[in-house]
Amino acid sequence: MKLTNVFRNLFSADNTFVFIILLPIVLLIAIFIYYPAVDTFQTSLTNENLRIRRPPKFIGADNYVKLVEDDEFWEVTGRSFVVVGLTLPLELAVAFSIAMLLNQRFPGRGMMRTLTILPWMLPPVVNGFLWGWLLNGEYGALNGLLYQFGLIDEYQYWLRAPETQILWVAVVQTWTRYAFPTIILLAGLQGIPDDLYDAAKVDGSNAWSRVRYITFPLLLPSFGIALVVEFIAAFQIFDVVWTLTAGGSAGGAINPFTKTLMLYNYELVFRDLRVGLGAAFSYIVLVMSLAVGLIFVLRVYNQGVHDK
């Protein structure tokens, strides 16, 4: 090929068009995402700490070793898995029930669907605040409601005990996110042909076995998508905890009982200014998220294949 042709191709109208359109996008992503990601990794290999005035020194994998040997690291990681372990079953149960309901035919279904999805669209920080106020120990609405129905004798401080704090974090996360799995499962339900149920009815199977042997197996792929997305959402929970139980908004210490991975990362970098350590931590979280995401996908799909 002649050189002039190469140039003509390179600067052809189409190539110029593509170049102008994609240049800002590629620049933004390179500058704001990939360059910092590489930079963060380099930082994770240094002992950079903004509290101590010293030039950062290369220390290899020491930060990673330090984190893995640190008790607080395992506490925080364990706590995040507790949040995930409480949230996912609760959330999927809520979502599945609501999806089954919305899959029925009844007047007002569209309106019902619109209202059901609302909480998902609100700012998660506001959701944390809403529930914090609802659960308030002195004037909270939950207390008032339970008292009026005679279920409690006196107002309770729902967010006082450390174990219940985690539980409520899971409940509020469920409230914030259940709409997404509901939509996914509803779409899955609507994709199941009615003939299957009719055939099963003719064969004399009851409602429960129809759900067990038709609905569940056919919904497995939908459950798979919902599980992966919601796992990542719960694993990286931040906003909801911040306003519900973190208690760290005015520069105070972050509540240790609900300190999950992302809050710990924030604390390491922006409160304690241990930048190198925080950078290493963020890479460990990256590996954990990707690994668990993959495991979930593979497991759910394998089960779907073998059970049939």
Partner 1 sequence: MNLGLRAQERLRLTFIYICCAIVLIWALAPIYWVAVSSISTRQELYAAPYKIWFPTQPTLDSYRTIFSTGAKFRSGGFSPTAELMSSGLRNSVIISVASSTIVTILATGAGYVFARMNFRGKNFIFLLIMLMLPLPIWVSLIALFFLMSELELVDTLVGIILIFVTLLLPLSVWMMTTFVRDIPGEIQDAARVDGAGRWRLVYSIILPLARPGMVAVFLVAMLWSWNNFLIPLIFSRSNDSQPLTIVLTLFIGQYEVAWEDMSAAAVVTMLPPFIMALFFQRYLVRGLTMGAVK
Per CB under 8 A, the segment of 23-31, 54-62, 84-92, 195-203 that binds partner 1 is 23-31
C-beta separation of 250 from 18 below 8 A: no
Q: Which residues contact 235 (CB under 8 A, 6 or more apart)?
A: 80, 83, 84, 261, 288, 289, 292
Contact positions with partner 1 (CB under 8 A) in 244-283: 248-252, 262, 265-266, 269-270, 275, 278-279, 281-283
**Closer to partner 1 by Cβ: residue 41 or 73:** 41
Q: Which stretch binds partner 1 (CB under 8 A): 62-70, 82-90, 94-102, 156-164?
A: 94-102
Give me the amino acid identity at 153. D
Among 56, 217, 256, 293, binds partner 1 (CB under 8 A): 293
User: Among 30-38, 58-66, 199-207, 300-308, which window interacts with partner 1 (CB under 8 A)?
Assistant: 30-38
What is the residue type of 168? W
Binder of partner 1 out of 199, 207, 286, 298 (CB under 8 A): 286
Measured distance CA(77)–CA(261) in Å, rounded: 6
51-70 binders of partner 1 (CB under 8 A)? none
Identity of the residue, 196 or 229, whose beta carbon is nearer to partner 1 in the bound complex = 229
- The reply on whether position 73 binds partner 1 by CB under 8 A is no
Count of residues interacting with partner 1 (CB under 8 A): 95
* Whether the Cβ atoms of residue 264 and residue 285 lie closer than 8 Å to each other: no
> Rounded to an integer, what distance in angstroms lies between the CA atom of residue 210 and that of residue 197?
7
How many helices, marked H, and strands, marked E, lie in the chain?
A: 16, 0
CA distance 194 to 48: 62
- Residue 14 engages partner 1 in binding (rule: CB under 8 A): yes
